[in-house]
Amino acid sequence: MQTIKNQFPIFDARPGLVYLDSAATALTPISVIDAVSSYYGTLSANVGRGLYATAEETTAQFEAVREKTARFLGAKRDEIVFTRNTTEAINLLAYVLEDQIEPGDNIVVTALEHHSNFLPWKRLAEKRGAELRIVPFETDGSIKGEIAQEYIDSKTKVFAFSAISNVFGTPNPVAELVRMAKEMNPDIMTVVDAAQAAGHSHIDVRTLNCDFLAFSGHKCFGPTGVGVLYGKEAILSTLPPYQVGGGMVQDARAEETAYKDSPHRFEAGTPDIASVFGLGAALDFVEEVGIDAIHDYESGRATQAVSKLEKTFGDSIHILGLNDRRESGIVSFTLDGIHPHDIAQVLGEHDICIRAGEHCAAPLHRVLSLPATARASFSVYNTKTDIDTLVEGLKNVVKLFKS
């Protein structure tokens, strides 16, 4: 794993950095940086427009990343829509599904959701006079199928939930939840927020059988500015465009407009081509390291961290989720008498980077009656020394506030 860490140049620039905020944005390996730079340095043409060699090569490489992303998810090429991030992907979906929601219908989400998979559905329900139903989570931060099914009926149009909670770090049984939802209502559309799962655990959309799935490049070692919306071809082909403009139209005559087939009808204007190239390199990185190796390493680091935190701070630390064996790299916690913002501030002064706040999951924190939590999230470049440094840093935080 030291060899892997050496692929991240930020540690050359900041050798003392202890980066424990990968759930927000993962660090970027040199191969991804090179891919982004290569686009600007050797191509820098638009896609799907020019007839000259550079433009055609750019288009071919861009579409090759679409193919690669499809293989990564177990999907078809035409089921992959490039967006800016998970947030845009889910907003796109909520917008194009608007005409299918009627007064009296309901949309089901969970109390675990990131705002990006909560607010678009809340707004859609309000706009269309539908009911928003919120499934409660278990004490370990998971959603149980037998509980979720109580919220789904023949009037449920959408069931949206996260594959992994960005606060608890607990994975949900995605295939089971999809199966349960389809049994309750065969016409329901299932939407999976995979922002914390993609690049960190295995995903096969055919096995999951979800209708839609979204993730961001920057959370799986890629650049910012690129996200992915997967949608079943049979459904995408029936949906209207999200935005209109160049690149997504077949014929824009005044009399009538003919839009391109999916996925291109959902990609109006010039995309972030360089970031798509970077996403392709990030998926190569994940494949080279191995998705199972990444998952096991990150979960193992988180499990070690929890054990040492509990041993060091005892009853004064409160860790969310199951602590004997973590299933992701996420560890959220509180320390008695110290606000999480203060914890993050003091640690940050020593280049120990954690996240503090509601993590864009206000409903979850309201349920727990917590104003905020501190979150350390581990990835392939974190070592046991990082855990030791975090614990020593927290000792200093406690000492500071006791004094």
User: Average pLDDT, stretch 77-103?
Assistant: 98
Which domain range does residue 152 map to? 32-287
pLDDT band at 322 (very low <50, low <70, confident <90, very high): confident
Residue 177 identity: L
Q: pLDDT tens for residues 211-225?
A: 999 999 999 999 999
Nearest residue to 131 via CA among 95, 94, 98, 104: 104
Token pair belonging to 300:
């193992």
Q: pLDDT tens for residues 350-360?
A: 999 999 999 99
Residue 254 has what pLDDT?
65
Same domain, 107 and 236: yes
Residue 27 domain flag? no
In sequence order, what DSSP letters do the residues of 305-347 get, joined into one string? HHHHHHHHHGGGEEE-S--SS-SSSEEEEEETTB-HHHHHHHH
Domain boundary among 266, 287, 308: 287
CB 66 within 8 A of CB 263: yes
Q: pLDDT tens for residues 37-77?
A: 999 999 999 999 889 999 999 999 999 999 999 999 999 99
pLDDT band at 403 (very low <50, low <70, confident <90, very high): confident
Residue 356 domain flag? yes
**Residue labelled with tokens 């190569």:** 284
Residue 25 domain flag? no
User: Average pLDDT, stretch 328-340?
Assistant: 98
Residue 367's CATH number:
3.90.1150.10
Is the per-residue pLDDT at 323 higher than 80?
no
Q: What is the pTM of this model?
A: 0.97
Domain boundary among 239, 270, 287: 287
3-state helix, strand and coil shares in percent for the chain, rounded to the nearest 5: 45, 15, 40
Residue 101 domain flag? yes
Q: pLDDT tens for residues 263-310?
A: 999 999 999 999 999 999 999 999 999 999 999 999 999 999 999 999
Residue 76 has what pLDDT?
98
Same domain, 155 and 235: yes
Same domain, 139 and 273: yes
Residue 113's CATH number:
3.40.640.10
Same domain, 259 and 350: no
Please give the tally of structural domains in the chain: 2
Is there a catalytic annotation at residue 210?
A: no
Of 210, 220, 353, 360, catalytic: 360
User: Average pLDDT, stretch 121-127?
Assistant: 98
Domain boundary among 287, 311, 329: 287
Is the per-residue pLDDT at 80 higher than 90?
yes
Residue 153 has what pLDDT?
98
Residue 282 domain flag? yes
Same domain, 351 and 383: yes
What mean pLDDT, rounded, does the chain reach?
96
Same domain, 229 and 321: no
User: Which helix (H) or strand (E) is 356 found in, with range?
Assistant: strand 355-357
Exposure b/e, 260-277, CB count within 10 A at least 16 = b: bebbbbbbbeebbbbbbb
Among residues of the chain, what percentage have pLDDT more than 70? 100
Same domain, 266 and 312: no
Same domain, 270 and 337: no
Same domain, 354 and 283: no
Residue 227 domain flag? yes
Q: How far is CA 363 from the centre of its chain?
A: 18
Residue 316 has what pLDDT?
97
CB 76 within 8 A of CB 291: no
Same domain, 382 and 356: yes
Residue 26 domain flag? no
Same domain, 137 and 241: yes
Same domain, 243 and 331: no
Q: pLDDT tens for residues 229-256?
A: 999 999 999 999 999 999 999 888 767 8
Distance CA 364, CA 117 (A): 13
Exposure b/e, 185-216, CB count within 10 A at least 16 = b: beebbbbbbbbbbbbbbebebeebebbbbbbb
Cα angle: 37, vertex 39, 40; to 5 degrees = 70
Residue 253 domain flag? yes
Residue 171 has what pLDDT?
96
CB 133 within 8 A of CB 104: no
